[in-house]
Structure 1
Amino acid sequence: MEALIIGDVQVGIVGFIPAAEGVLPPLAAAVAAARAKGVPVIYVRVALRADRAEVPARNPVATWMFEQGDLLQESSPQTAVHPAIAPQPGEPVLTKRRGSAFHGTDLDGILRARGITGVTLAGIATSGVVLATVIDAVERDYAITVLRDGCVDAETDVHEFLLDRIFPGRGARVVTAEQWIDGLG
């Protein structure tokens, strides 16, 4: 059994990365197909506490994230899952403080409790949540699929390199949302 995991497709992040709007139609189609076929859909959002509790000064990425103002502040509506792919009641929405969807969340426990052995990943950014989650999923022995058109990155060349070289090299299958939907049967 597999689950569709969508990371960091948030109101503010979609508005922050110009090409991000392009992932919404394929993701909406993938979410609808997953629901129709009984594939669990799990959302992960990145959000930081206002008190800077998880932002050490020595971590430049976390510091940069914190300095983006309400874009990534936990209480901000900017951190909500984008309405084009909004969760339905009963679909988990996990909050993370770092790159991987597994880090500091109960994602692994949710997957194992449901008998899920494979994950299909999508999100913003390819070099952020998707890369970190692929690496974590490999270490946890999940079968991995990445939705090519369900990911975007501010750096197109990095995005393509990850999809064409790094993810397949880690055992991930990289397909379009349409190919994934067709494979659902």
Structure 2
Amino acid sequence: MSRLAERERHIPGRAALVVIDVQNDFCAADGSLPRRYDFDLQFVDAMVPRLQRLINAARAVGMPVVFVRTVHDESNDSPAWLGRLGDGAGSERAGVTCRTGTWGAEFFGVAPQPGDHIITKHRFSAFVGTNLAITLTSLGIRSVLFTGVATEVCVESSLRDGLFHEFYVTLVEDCAATYAKAAHDASVSVVRKHFGLVTTSQELIDSWALVGQTGGIGYGGQ
């Protein structure tokens, strides 16, 4: 199988858009994490409209959109998972988010439509214990565009595993968000240095428009 050139990694027919954990418990003011821990939502609030636009643009050019959601309950809350933060401050955070069947587990500001794909995960990475890799491969996808929440946790974990599953990976930096700018910026830097490409939603939308105009491969990004 030939290597994809950088300009080819973001075009319809080669790539899929993956939306990670844009759910109430992570993104809404009344969600479990923002409410319990006073997390700053300004970056999430600013990101969601850009993500909505990007999702609509991807659908318009026929690019697969995959929504990944986190769900937790007694069937997947192992002792190691619940105890991952130890017995110190913050350990109570485990086991309170996105409980099965609750409002907190529902999507926030985005929603799958007919033709989209939904993957349910129980760990930070969207590839652990799921059929995401099989879904992408079955769709003929070689390159994955990652978006969602939180940049340095579930988005970056999923992106890293995407590379380890032999997909080309890209972080859409303005369509990923977390609760502190420094954490987001550090994750963007790590991805750019070690794991894949970094682009923006406008660069993608512009490149898709160019493909539509020329009928060929075009890429207006970095």
Normalising by the residue count of structure 1, what TM-score does the alignment of the two structures yield?
Answer: 0.89
- Specify the code of the residue in structure 1 equivalent to 2:17: L
Distance 2:134 2:76 in 1: 24
Q: Deviations over 1:4-57 (max 9, x none)?
A: 0000001221113512111111101110000000000000011101x2642314
- Specify the code of the residue in structure 1 equivalent to 2:15: E
2:26 is matched with 13
2:56 aligns with one of 32, 41, 56 = 32
Q: Percent identity?
A: 26
1:136 is matched with 161
Shift of 1:161: 1.3
**1:125 aligned to 2:150?**
yes
The SS at the match of 1:115 is coil
- Specify the code of the residue in structure 2 equivalent to 1:55: S
Unaligned runs of 5+ in 1: none
Q: Does the 8 A contact of 2:145 with 2:172 survive in 1?
A: yes
Unaligned runs of 5+ in 2: 1-13, 29-33, 210-222
Shift of 1:170: 2.4
Q: Does the 8 A contact of 1:121 with 1:147 survive in 2?
A: yes
Aligned length: 179
Shift of 1:87: 0.7
Shift of 1:123: 1.0
Larger Rg: 2
2:99 aligns with one of 64, 73, 81 = 73
1:168 aligns with one of 184, 192, 198 = 192
The SS at the match of 1:161 is helix
Distance 2:48 2:99 in 1: 22
Q: Does the 8 A contact of 2:83 with 2:94 survive in 1?
A: no
Output the aligned Cα RMSD.
1.8
1:45 is matched with 69
Moved over 3 A (4+): none
1:178 is matched with 202
- Specify the code of the residue in structure 2 equivalent to 1:175: T
Q: Does the 8 A contact of 2:160 with 2:195 survive in 1?
A: no
Shift of 1:126: 0.6
